[in-house]
Amino acid sequence: MQCSQCGATSDEGQRFCYNCGARLGVQNLPPTPTIAPPLPPAPPQHPESYQPPTAYQSGFIPNSTLAVVSVVSGVLSWVLLPLIGAIVAVITGHMARNEIRNANGRIAGSGLATIGLLLGYIQFVFAIVGGCFLLFLVMLTLAS
């Protein structure tokens, strides 16, 4: 049997040409092009309120600067500046926790702020106990 597409000779009983794969026994005409219906108009590329990102945004969440200041001041209150460092640590620690709470997850550092608060408040306790002890010693000296 002769293929009408490529002209190759195939054995009797075959349904498809071994050379081009066309169906044998039927008139193989080239396929007629089909006309596709017109496409609907494309939607706008970006909505009017869309603004493309200005830079690559990773999953990194920055720490609050006030939380870092609170921890550093808390450590300094134990090393160099006992009372001033404790005051700065407590004030910035409370400010940092408020900032982190209001940032809705965009700022991290709640643990740093808590550590700064603890260092500052413990330093206050030691300063008060030390001051009371010093006052007791002065009173004891004056009484004798």
For residue 7, pLDDT over 90 is answered with: no
Higher-confidence residue: 131 or 6? Answer: 131
Q: What per-residue confidence (pLDDT) applies to 126?
A: 93
Read off the pLDDT band of 87 (50, 70, 90).
very high
The pTM of this model reads: 0.56
Window from 26-35, 55-64, 72-81, 99-108 with minimum mean pLDDT:
26-35
Return the structure tokens found at 48: 């009017």
Nearest to 69 by CA among 120, 106, 125: 120
**What CA–CA distance (Å, rounded) separates 31 from 41?**
29
Q: What per-residue confidence (pLDDT) applies to 26?
A: 58
**What CA–CA distance (Å, rounded) separates 2 from 99?**
85
Query: How much is the average pLDDT of 76-92?
Result: 93
What lies within 8 Å, CB to CB, of 25 at 6+ separation is: 1, 15
Query: How much is the average pLDDT of 85-105?
Result: 93
Task: Name the 3-class secondary structure at 140.
Answer: helix
CB 22 within 8 A of CB 5: yes
Q: Measured over all CA atoms, what is the biggest interatomic distance in the chain, rounded to whole angstroms? A: 134
CA distances 115 to 7, 60, 140, 142, Å, are: 88, 22, 37, 40
- Give the phi and the psi of residue 138 in degrees, each rounded to 5: -65, -45
- Each residue's pLDDT tens digit, 109-141: 999 999 999 999 999 999 999 999 999 999 999
Window from 34-43, 47-56, 74-83 with minimum mean pLDDT:
47-56
Q: What per-residue confidence (pLDDT) applies to 60?
A: 82
